[in-house]
Structure 1
Amino acid sequence: MTELNILHHSSYPPESNGHGGSKRTAQVLELLVTNGYDYTSVDFDTIKALKTLKWQKKVSLFLGTLLRFPFKGKNISFKRLKRVDRLKFISKAFIAELSSIPDIYIWESTLDIHQFIAAELKAKGSKIIGIAHNLESLVPCASQFGAIVHHKSPINRFAQELETLSICDEIFVISREEQWLLNLFNIGAKYLPYYPIIETRNNLLEIRKRRALRQKNNEFLILGTVLNPPTLNGTIELIKMVSEVSPANAIIHIVGYGTERLKPHLTGYSQFQLHGGVDRSALEDILAKIDAVVLNQPYTTGSLTRIPEMLIAGIPVICNEAAARSFYNYSGVYLFSNEHELTDFLSNPMDTPLIPKEERVYTDLFIKTLKLAV
């Protein structure tokens, strides 16, 4: 292993079969391990100071928040300020218990609410490498869960997020569009596209083999976790479009965590089969037989991890322009901008996509950044 003391934090556990956030974290950690870097993940549950926290300290923290609250303005609630004060305490307590200050802090949870440990470590000499999963402030209908101060204006929310990201010595983003935007604001973001980990790639290649002899059958799949507003709203819009233009004998499978909440929108449409969240085996059986995956999103940030995954599995992706961000020119990605174009794609056979290659120039840049950080 390379002799660097690396500390890492993500809001999500690394899971090959989880949602996009967990898959991104799995990718980052596999990049570290395969390039000889060991790391320690931040686990706030292990902080001794929390387990032995006396009631006097709890009262002290509460009173401190109570005294500060009248001077903080109308954009932060008492509950949020109390959480902020607690996180500040936790961050300092965690750093105090470290046996040594890390050379590098890899910060995936780049939210306002998680900035304190990054700021504390930077003040003590650590290099902060941010890996933003998306620009949270620009997500339509976002709950602002990760914001300290709530702003109604997306411009003000974005300014607040830029200030948080400026803590980073280096920052990597998942989409080209975010790289471009952040650089316009003098934050030198680098591009690190999503590519699935080895375990996931092998599973996807097995699906590609199973699809080799299949024929067009007018079965399609709407796939995704609809727990966030952009995916939910985009999927509801897609259901309406597909119901009006799909071939008469079409079967439209709907799979993903939280998709059960789409049931009211399927009333009267016999072509839809709502599966909800399914295990890997059931999903692979569906992926092996469908003609294509169909996706639709409003303009938002981040990147759809399932697009490169479907292409590796040999499955064409039919999607609108917003969903295709960073993947416009990939083999097997078919863009529709209206119902007529969607009709054509659903009705006609599509070629098996080429397997997208991992863009090593970007992963190599990430590893080079680690080497040059200290």
Structure 2
Amino acid sequence: MQEKGLRILHHSPFKAKPFGHGGERRTAQVVELLQRRGFILDSLNWEHSDSKPTIYKLLRAPLYALYFVKFCIEARIFIKPFPQEILFIGFSYRYFVTSVKPMLKNNYHAFIWESTYDRFFLLAFLLKKHKLPVFAIPHNLESLVPGRKSFLHSKTAPAWLPNEMKMLKSTALHTFAIAREEEWLLNLHGVKAHYLPYYPVTEVVNYFEEIRKKRRSTGNFLLIGTATNLPTYLGMKKLIDNLEGRLGEVVIDLAGYGTERFNAEYSGLANFNILGTLSNEVLQQKLAGCKGVVLYNQPSSGVLTKVIEFMLSGIPLVVDPGSARSYYNLDGLFIYNDVGDLTHLLKHFDTGRSTTEGKMEILKMSAFEDYFITTIVNCRPNTEISK
């Protein structure tokens, strides 16, 4: 393979932050992998909207309307002509022409498209139109996220699943899914899909391997999540409401960004200890001493990036089936089906159960990475994709 020196154009809706939220961690993985393999990566700072004053937008409105119509005709899709869509698509099309198109003289080998929400379809569509091979890396299937609305089709999940499948099929040369289940579903819809599991970057791997060295398993269980995220908050609240008073002497420490809000909602809890937001250092101490981590996730698409990270730490995980997606076969993963099942599992937890070794062999990552890189290297610029 001759990947060294190949120039790649890239866009993600998130910045690459190793210790950020799940989307930022996935982008950090993709960026590190490409750079580690010798690619020259140019990440687009794609404008989301026109920041000019309202009077400027009004003066530009006729031009944006023309670009809007042009895109609808070229992409062969019907979009209801609401002002928001006209302004955004018109501005985005003009931004592509004035700012992105001139960059193509750099002879890019391919475009890595992480921003697969249909709000950014125009970017991938126009790059494909200019003969740049598109490789999609959806962080999740957006049309299967509960309550998620399509930007282009005025539909709410899951009604626009066929639209998302058509978009990926017509635009991407290859699509690399974060979940095995999504790889299967994409292929059923005619999308050429493969599996690229999430695996944390080196800095994060070192952080969790340090926890493995310090593991003592003498403390409480730990329930972790970002409570500012509505599905996560509702999941945590459901566990508190259903488990409080039923666990005997079992105590669950509740931690994560925004979890302080539970102090205003509950008092005198016997089975839950609300810790709130923790620094990385304090969280590391808690993880090193906990009996296990409890996870509950509202049904959605994608995967939980924290699952594989905790497995690297040697921490047993007590999870619902949704949180275990793509990881069912890993040692140290204890799956509960309902509240009664979870209650019994926590009260009779076997801390002596072995956990998976904290190595890349957990997911055979080297093989998945090699296939991903080989697929990109072997693509031919100017490849046309049949619709």
Per the shorter chain, which TM-score range?
Answer: 0.7 to 0.9
Conservation of the 8 A alpha-carbon contact between 1:5 and 1:39: yes
State whether structure 2 residue 366 is matched by structure 1 residue 363: no
TM-score when normalising by structure 1: 0.88
Which stretches in structure 1 are left out of the alignment for 5+ residues?
none
Cα gap change, 1:247 to 1:309, in 2 (>3 Å)? farther
Secondary structure of 1:195's match?
coil
C-alpha distance in 2 between matches for 1:193 and 1:181? 16
Conserved in 2, the CA contact under 8 Å of 1:216 and 1:349? no
Matches within 5 A, 1:104-119: 104-119=110-125
3-state SS of 1:245 partner: coil
Partner in structure 2 of residue 346 of structure 1: 346
CA deviation profile, 1:104-123 (whole Å, cap 9, x unmatched): 11010111111112111111
Alignment map for 1:90-105 (pairs within 5 Å):
90-98=95-103, 99-105=105-111
Q: For the Cα contact (< 8 Å) 2:173–2:192, is it kept in 1?
A: no
Contact 1:129 / 1:168 at 8 angstroms: preserved in 2? yes
Deviations 1:64-123 (A, max 9, x none): 557979x99996642243222222222222223314342211010111111112111111
**Taking structure 1 as reference, are residues 185 and 264 closer, same or farther at Cα in structure 2, changes over 3 Å only?**
farther
CA 1:268–1:195: 2 relative to 1, 3 Å: same
8 A Cα contact 1:92 1:120, kept in partner: no
For residues 76 and 318 of structure 1, the distance between their equivalents in structure 2, rounded to whole angstroms, comes to 48
**1:240 to partner: Cα distance:** 2.2
Q: CA deviation at 1:128?
A: 0.3
Judging changes above 3 Å, is the alpha-carbon distance between structure 1 residues 224 and 123 closer, same or farther for their aligned structure 2 residues?
same
| Aligned AA (1:183) | N
Greater shift in the superposed pair: 59-68 or 169-178: 59-68
Candidates 32, 50, 73, aligned match of 2:34: 32
- 1:329 to partner: Cα distance: 1.2
Match of 1:256 in 2: 256
The question of whether the paired residues in 2 share the 8 Å contact of 1:132 and 1:174 is answered with yes
Write the distance in 2 (CA, Å) between the matches of 1:301 and 1:256. 21
1:165 counterpart = 2:168? yes
Relative to structure 1, the CA distance from residue 315 to residue 322 in structure 2 (aligned partners, 3 Å threshold; closer, same or farther) is: same
Q: Name the residue aligned to 2:186.
A: 182
The SS at the match of 2:136 is strand
* 2:379 is the counterpart of 1:373: yes
The structure 1 segments of at least 4 consecutive aligned residues displaced by more than 6 Å after TM superposition are 53-57, 66-69, 71-74
Q: 80, 89, 92: which one pairs with 1:84? A: 89
Q: Structure 1 pair 354/116, CA: closer, same or farther in 2 (3 Å)?
A: same
**Native 8 Å contact 1:128 1:169 kept in 2:** yes
Paired amino acid for 2:13: S
Measured in 1, the distance between the counterparts of 2:138 and 2:82 equals 26
C-alpha change, 1:80 and 1:55, in structure 2 (3 Å) is closer
Partner of 2:232: 231
Structure 2 residue aligned with 1:208, among 198, 209, 212?
Answer: 212
Match for residue 383 of structure 2? none
Q: Does the 8 Å contact 1:130/1:171 carry over to 2?
A: yes
Q: Distance in 2 between matches of 1:317 and 1:177?
A: 20
Number of residue pairs matched by the alignment: 362
> What is the CA distance between 1:268 and its match in structure 2?
4.2
TM-score (norm 2): 0.85
Amino acid at match of 2:193: A
Q: In the superposition, relative to structure 1, how do residues 54 and 310 fare at CA in structure 2: closer, same or farther (>3 Å)?
A: closer
> Which residue among 94, 113, 134 is the counterpart of 2:140?
134
Q: Matched residues in 1 for 2:54 and 2:300: separation? A: 44
Aligned Cα RMSD in Å? 2.8
Q: In 2, Cα distance between the equivalents of 1:137 and 1:368?
A: 29
Cα displacement (A) at 1:170: 0.8
1:290: which partner in 2?
A: 290
Secondary structure at 2:234's aligned position in 1? helix
| 1:322 paired residue number | 322
